[in-house]
Each structure stands twice: as C-alpha cells, then as structure tokens.
Amino acid sequence: MRIRFLTTGGTIDKVYFDAKSQYEIGESLVAEILKDSQVSLDFVVESVLRKDSLDMTDEDRRMVREAVLRSPERSVVITHGTDTMVETAKALRGIPDKVIALTGSLSPARFKSSDAIFNIAVAVAAAQTMPPGVYIAMNGRVFDPDQVRKNRELNRFEDANGS
C-alpha cells in the first residue's frame, strides 16, 4: 500500500521570521517527518498549494479535489490549515473508493513542541484502516467532518457537541 500526501500549507508548514509572528508557508516537512520516524510504508508527497487556510478559495478546494481524484493511491493524507480544514473536508465528500484523512497542526512542525508529528501519525493510521470516506485526524482522534468543530478557545478539535 502506498499513501499519497497532498500538502496545502497551513500552520504545519509555517516558518516564523520574527517576534511579531510574521510568517511564510515553507517547504513541507512531511517526507522528513516520515523518514525521521522510520516509517516503513511506501509514500509520495505532492504539493498542491502553499496557503494559509483562511486564504483558501472554492477554486483552491477544487484543485485539492482534482489532486485526490487523479491520485492512483486509495489512501490520501492531506495536510491543511486548521481554520478551514472542515470546509475542505466537506468539499471532498462523494469521492468513491478513497480514504481521505485531513490533518494539520496547531503549531508549526518546525517547533519542538508541535502536535504535527502525532497528527500525521493518526492520519496515516486512519488512511490505512478506515473505510472509504473523508475524515479529520486531529488531537488523537478521527472525526467525521459533519460532526467536528475547532474549539479556538481550547485550541483543539472536538465533537460538534463539545466532547
């Protein structure tokens, strides 16, 4: 089994330049994270976008959908900014015979205390074990995009009912 990683930008790939939190979306660290973790699965990484998710448009979401559709792999992990991850997940509904797991991080992967590595690991597990569909893999859980929300106050994803 091979997993295709589609990168779109977001906090997971941010590079901060100064104390005022000026940033740019840098090169994705997904391949490096997987290699450093000694992951033995076959994977390919493809950059689709380099945007903060707040700047994503419907056209950007169509580009992500087209990348998933042309992917020969059944399992796809999409790294994405957390602010509009749910919207993109909903735009991917209805793609047959694919397991699509969206993930990101609440702090850049370049930070020592980032949640990026763990979230990528959960997304990889979801992409290998879940039935076809679209999922959000964040905070150690796998969510249905219709049943999840980002709790900005607690800085985490949770069930839409708050648990």
For residue 29 the two structure tokens come to 């660290």
Checking if the pLDDT of 19 tops 80, the result is no
Task: Give Cβ neighbours of residue 14 (< 8 Å, ≥ 6 apart).
Answer: 23, 24, 25, 26, 108, 110
| Tens-place pLDDT, residues 105-118 | 876 666 676 788 88
CATH of domain 2-159: 3.40.50.1170
Q: Could you tell me the residue ranges of all domains in the chain?
A: 2-159
Task: Give Cβ neighbours of residue 57 (< 8 Å, ≥ 6 apart).
Answer: none
Structure confidence at residue 16 as a pLDDT band (50, 70, 90): low
Q: Are 119 and 125 in contact (CB under 8 A)?
A: no
